[in-house]
Amino acid sequence: MKKQISRMLLGLTILASSACTKIDNYPGPDASFEGNLISTEGGNLLTSQNSSQIRLEQISWSATPSPQEIPSKFDGTFKDSKLFKGKYKVIPKGGAFWPIYDTITVDINKGTKHDFTVTPYLLIKNFTATLNGTTLTLTYDIEAPISAGLPTILETQPFINTTKLVGAGASIRDYSDAYLKRINKEYVDMTDAEKTISIDVENMVPGRKFFARVGVRLNDSFKSYNFSDIIEIDIPKP
Amino acid sequence: MKRLHKLIIALSVTVGASITSCQRLDIPPTNIVGPDVIFGTEAGVTSFLANIYTGLPIEDFKYRPDGGFRTGGNDWENFYNSASVTGEEVGPFGGMDIGGGFGYWPYGDIRKVNILLDELPKHAAELTQVKVDQLIGEGHFLRAYYYFGLAKRYGGVPIIKVAQDPGAPLEELQVHRDKEEDVWNFIGEELDLGYQMMPETSPAGRANKYVAAALKSRAMLYAATIAKYGSVNFVDGPARAEGFVGIGADKANGFFTKAYDAAKLLEGHYSLYERNPDKLQNYIDLFLKTGDSPEAIFVKQYSILNQTAHSWDATMSPRYFTANALSRSYPTLDLVQLWGDLPVTNGDGTPKRFNDRAELMQGLEPRLLATVYFPGATLRGLTFDMQRGIYPSFSGTAAAEVAKPNNSRSFILSGDVKTLYQGKQIIGFTGPWTGGDELTRTGFYVRKYVDYNKPQASVDLNRSEQPWMDLRYAEVLLNRAEAAIELGNTGDALTDINLIRVRAGATPYASIDLEKVRKERRMELAFENHYYWDLKRWRTADIVLNNARFKGLMPYFVFNENKFIFLAEPELFQRNYNFDKRFYYEPIPGGELGKNPNLYPNNPNY
C-alpha cells in the first residue's frame, strides 16, 4: 500500500514538474511606433479621421503577413503603443499625397520613432473665415506643389462641426455636405479665378461655438481630401 | 461411435473453416460509390452533375451578396440583395456593405468538374461516345461558370484544369495566380468548347450550346468593359503591375467582338416572350410562365418537396398581402424616374391633386408597372394603400414643403396604422412607415417575379417555387447592343434595343447612344442582380455611389380637399452609400492567403 502511494506521488511529481517546464516567456506587445507625416511644403500633412494610415507588415516571421494599419491623427501624427517588437515593412498610404511605392524596413522596439515625408497633392492657402450676421464666408486658394499628373480635382466643401474633431465623416451635414461645390477639372485647366474659392455657409446657430475647415477632394485611388487647418468660430448671440 | 461423431464434427469444422477462410476479404468497400458506378451509367453522371449545378454561382432569389449562394431549406431573407446597395432599392443593408464580398472560393466545386472531365473519356463504352462528348461540353460550360464567378470578383485567379493530387508536394499545391486577361480568355475558350460539344436543346435547368453562348456574351462583355474602363479608373498596386487585376485597353475591342458574336449565335433560336397582347400582363407573365418560354435560356428551379423553395413572395410584399414574414426591399424613386419624371407636380410647382392614388399609374410604361408596385395597385384582392400621412390642408409648392425640417411641416404622421385623424386612417396598411422594417420606406414595392396568383394563405416562407431566369434572351440582346454600340455598330444596337422597348410597351427610339443602351439595361434588368456588376465593370460605381442618397415618393392625403398628393422626399431610412475604388475588386479571402502565400500580392489597397 505504502509502495503504491509513493509510486503514485512519484508519478504526480513527474507530471507536475514536466507540465511546468514550458513557460510563455514571449514579450507582450510593448513596442511602440510613432512619428509625423511631414509635408514637403512645411508642417505636418493635415488629415482627418482615418484619412491617412501607416501600413505595417511584420516580416519577422513570414514574408506575406496580414497587414495592420495605424490611422493618422488630425494633426498628421501617428502612434501605436501596443505593437510586438520586430522587423516591419512600413509605408504611409491613404492620401492626399503623391503615392509612395517603396516600403522601408524598420526595427520596431520600445519608443521607435520615424517621420515620413510626403508631398501633398494640394495646399490650401490664405484660408480665412469672416462672419456676417449668421453667415460664415470661407475663402481660400488652392495650389498644387506638383501640377503635372495631378489627379482630377473633384469637389470642394466646408467641414463644420461642434468639436475640433472635424473633417470628412465628422461634420454637420447641413453646414458641410450641403455646400459641396463640384469642380471636376484638371488642375492645369483651372483658371486662377477658379483656384480661389469662396463659400457662404448660412444660418449658423447664434450663441454656439463651431470648428471649421475646408477640404478639396481629388480623384486618386482613395478619393482623398487635402484639408486646411481647423479654425474656431464663435457665433455671437443676436 | 462417439469418437466417429467427434471426428466428423472436427472434420466438418476444419473443412468449413478452411473454405470460408479462403474467401477474399480484399474487396472494394461496398459503402463507397466508386467512379465506375458514377461515370458508368447516365443516371450516375446525372446525379454527379446535379451536385455541380447546385453549387453554380447563380445570383438568384436566395443569393446574399454578403453571405454567399444559398441552397438550403430555410434561406428566407431574400431581401438581402445587391439592388439595395446600388440605389435600385433601399433595404436591409445600411450602406455599401457588400463591397468586400464574402470570400467566394469554389475550388472544391471546380475540382468536381475537373474529375468529371478526367473520368468521362474512360467510359465511352458504357455511355456511348456521342453522350460522352456532350457531357464533356457541359463540363466545360460548368467550369467556365465557376471561373466567371471568380473572375468578376477577384480578377486573376489560379486556373486549375486538372484535379490536384492531395499527396503532391506543397510547392505544387500552392499555385500562383493567373493574369486577369488569361482567366477571361480561359472562360471564353471553355464556353466555346461548351458551344461546340453540347446539343441544341436540354431539359430545364441544364445547359445546352446556346446557354454557353449566352453566358459567353455576358462574360466577354464584362472583360471588354473592364479592359476599356478599368484602364482609366483603377487603383494602383503590385497586383495591377503584375497583371493579376486589370486588362490592357487595347484588348477591349477583341472582347467586345467576342461578346457580340456570341450573342448573335442565339438569334433565331430564342426570342422575347410575347404571348399576351396585353403588354402589362405579358411582362408580368414573362417572369412567372418560364416553363415553355422562348425567352428563358437558363433557369434555376426550386421545390418545396426537396426543401429548396425560396421566399420571394413572402419577402417582397408586406405582411398585409401574405401569410407570414415581412418585406424589406423598397424600390427607389430614382429607379422609377429612369422611365421619366412622374407627373406629380403642376407647372407652378404645386403638387398635383389626385382623386385616387391609382390615377398616378395612368399612361405609364407597362414594363414599369410590372416591375414596381405603385400606390393604388392591387395584389390578391387588396390595394397598395400607401399613405405617409395627412395634411389637414396644403398650400405652396412641393419643393418648398420638402425643404422644410420635419418639425415645421404641417402634416400629421402616426406611429401605427390604427390611429385615425377625424375618422380617417393616417398611414396606409402598406406604409410608408419608419416604426418597423416591414413597410415601405419609399412608397413602392417590388413587383417583378411576385406570383400574384398565389392565394394569400399560402404565401409563406420557403413556399415559392417560381424558377429564376439566370439567362434570358432580353439580357442577350442587351449584351449584344452594348457590345455593338461600343464597336460603333449603332444600327444593330438600335434594332436590339427597340425589340426590347416594343415588347415592354415603350416607344421605340429613333436613334441610339451608349447612355440609352445602359439605361435600357437598368430598366429591363432591374432587381435581377445585374446592376451592381454593371456599375463595377463600367467603373462608375465610385461616381454613382459617392455619398449617394436616394429618394422615395410619399403619398399624402389632403384632408380639406379630399385629394391625394405625392411628394418626392428622401427615402425614410435616410441612408447614404459610398463605394471605395478598391471595391472594384474583392480581396482574396484571408484564409486562402494564409494557406497559400503564392496568392500574394492581394488586390490593390487591401
Find the mean pLDDT for residues B268-286: 96
pLDDT of residue B45: 94
Question: Is pLDDT at B180 greater than 90 in this prediction?
Answer: yes
Helix spans in B233-341 (H): 238-241, 252-264, 279-288, 312-316, 333-336
Q: How many CB atoms lie within 10 A of CB B37?
A: 11
Q: Under an 8 A CB cutoff, do A62 and B597 touch? A: yes
Surface of A (106-145) touching B: CB under 8 A = none
Which of B470, B6, B410 is closest to B214 using CA atoms?
B470
pLDDT of residue B2: 59
pLDDT of residue B1: 54
Find the mean pLDDT for residues B302-323: 94
pLDDT of residue B255: 97
CA angle B169, B175, B181 (to 5 degrees): 160
Phi, psi at residue B378, to the nearest 5°?
-120, 150
pLDDT in tens, B495-547: 999 999 999 999 999 999 999 999 999 999 999 999 999 999 999 999 999 99
Q: Is A184 on the interface with B (CB under 8 A)?
A: no
B582 to chain A: which residues are within 8 Å by CB? 221
pLDDT band at B19 (very low <50, low <70, confident <90, very high): low
pLDDT in tens, A25-49: 788 889 999 999 999 988 899 988 8
pLDDT of residue A3: 76
Give the SS3 label for residue A3.
helix
Find the mean pLDDT for residues B406-420: 90
**How far away is chain A from the Cα of B234, in angstroms, using its nearest Cα?**
7
pLDDT in tens, B440-498: 999 999 999 999 999 999 999 999 999 999 999 999 999 999 999 999 999 999 999 99
Strands B372-373 and A209-218, bridge-based pairing:
unpaired
Give yes or no for a cis peptide into A96 (omega within 30° of 0): yes
Question: Is pLDDT at B338 greater than 80 in this prediction?
Answer: yes
ipTM for the whole complex: 0.84
Q: Under an 8 A CB cutoff, do B581 and A223 touch? A: yes
pLDDT band at A22 (very low <50, low <70, confident <90, very high): low
The model's pTM is 0.91
Percentage with pLDDT > 70 across chain A: 97
pLDDT in tens, B540-571: 999 999 999 999 999 999 999 999 999 999 99
Q: Which residue of A has its CA nearest to B601?
A: A64
pLDDT band at B5 (very low <50, low <70, confident <90, very high): confident
A64 to chain B: which residues are within 8 Å by CB? 593, 597, 600
Residue A70 near residue A112, CB atoms below 8 Å: no
pLDDT of residue B66: 94
Percentage with pLDDT > 90 across chain B: 88
pLDDT of residue B105: 97
**How far away is chain B from the Cα of A65, in angstroms, using its nearest Cα?**
8
Residue A99 near residue A218, CB atoms below 8 Å: no
Question: Is pLDDT at B16 greater than 70 in this prediction?
Answer: no
Q: What is the DSSP letter of B176?
A: P
Question: Is pLDDT at A91 greater than 80 in this prediction?
Answer: yes
pLDDT of residue A66: 86
Of residues B547, B580, B593, nearest to A177 (C-beta): B547
pLDDT of residue B379: 96
Strands B551-558 and B389-391, bridge-based pairing:
parallel
pLDDT in tens, B48-59: 999 999 999 999
Would you state the cell numbers that stand for residue B144, as one nine-digit string? 467556365
**How far away is chain A from the Cα of B493, in angstroms, using its nearest Cα?**
31
Find the mean pLDDT for residues B189-200: 97
Surface of B (36-95) touching A: CB under 8 A = none
Q: Which residue of B has its CA nearest to A63?
A: B597
**How far away is chain B from the Cα of A99, in angstroms, using its nearest Cα?**
9
Write the CA distances from A136 to A131, A133, A140, A180, A199, integer angstroms.
5, 8, 13, 15, 8
Mean pLDDT of chain B: 94
Question: Is pLDDT at A20 greater than 70 in this prediction?
Answer: no
Percentage with pLDDT > 90 across chain A: 68
**How far away is chain A from the Cα of B46, in angstroms, using its nearest Cα?**
43
Find the mean pLDDT for residues B422-430: 93
pLDDT in tens, A116-142: 999 999 999 999 999 998 999 999 999
Surface of A (47-66) touching B: CB under 8 A = 62-64, 66
Which residue out of A103, A221, A222, A225 would a mutagenesis test of the B interface target, given it has the greatest number of B Cβ atoms within 10 Å? Answer: A221
Counting Cα atoms < 13 Å in the Cβ hemisphere of B37 gives: 8
Residue B246 near residue B234, CB atoms below 8 Å: yes
